[in-house]
Amino acid sequence: MQSRFHAWRAISGFVLGLILLAAPAVQAPAQEAARLKEGEKAPVFEIQGFSSESLIGKKHLLLVFYRGHF
């Protein structure tokens, strides 16, 4: 009985591992489509009461994204 439990646990762990490894591969194409290419106009956005649309044609806007949290 105990060997069945260990076998079931091993199979469950293997399947969970496969799912966790496959998840980033499924998300990657969607992230690639959302990226801007050099020279493209950034989409209009709003954050904390500020709208990037208010600067169109008036000032330059530089967007900087940090990959890590410091």
Cα angle 48-50-56, degrees, rounded to a multiple of 5: 155
- Separation of CA 51 from chain center: 23
pLDDT for res 56: 80
pLDDT for res 50: 85
Q: Domain segments of the chain: what residues? A: 2-55
pLDDT for res 1: 62
Six token digits for residue 70: 């410091």
pLDDT tens, 19-69?
A: 888 777 666 565 566 677 788 877 888 888 888 888 888 877 777 777 776
Closest CA to 41 of 58, 22, 18, 61: 61
Map residue 13 onto helix, strand or coil: helix
